[in-house]
Amino acid sequence: MKTNLISKAVVMMVVVMASVMNFSASASNPTQYVKNEEMTGELMTAKTIFKNEDGRLFRHLRYTYTYDNENRVASKEASKWDSVKEAWVPYFKMNVEYNNNEIAVNYARWNS
């Protein structure tokens, strides 16, 4: 019973972390951003966030997701658009491991 409660708390923490990370992309003004979600069946494999400036869309952030064989998120990787290089530059990666009644989340940020 106690292990089940701990498992639920860890899952809730992962969900909250993911929500906060997603919310930060649109925190300043939700109408300023447009998103495009890429789906494979019912699973979101990628999400691109565009800045909307006077009706023109500019690349901003891109999230890619991988799933395990039980359709649970195994990793989430974010990239920022570099307009000078005209390429997506890695920003952070979050790996999720599911073991018995435990969930481990590893978060890493890239630097130059």
Q: Report whether pLDDT(65) > 70.
A: yes
Distance of alpha carbon 4 from alpha carbon 26, whole angstroms: 34
Nearest Cα residue to 31 out of 53, 46, 62, 47:
53
pLDDT at 21: 59
Contact 46, 37 (CB under 8 A): yes
Q: Report whether pLDDT(68) > 90.
A: yes
Q: Report whether pLDDT(26) > 60.
A: no
Structurally, what CATH architecture does the domain formed by 2-109 represent? Beta Barrel (2.40)
Share of the chain above pLDDT 90, in %: 68
The pTM assigned to this predicted structure is 0.70
Q: What would the DSSP string read from start to end of 35-100?
A: EEEEEETTEEEEEEEEEEETTEEEEEEEEEEEE-TTS-EEEEEEEEEETTTTEEEEEEEEEEEEET
Q: How confident is the model at residue 1 (pLDDT cuts 50, 70, 90)?
A: low
What are the domain boundaries of the chain? 2-109
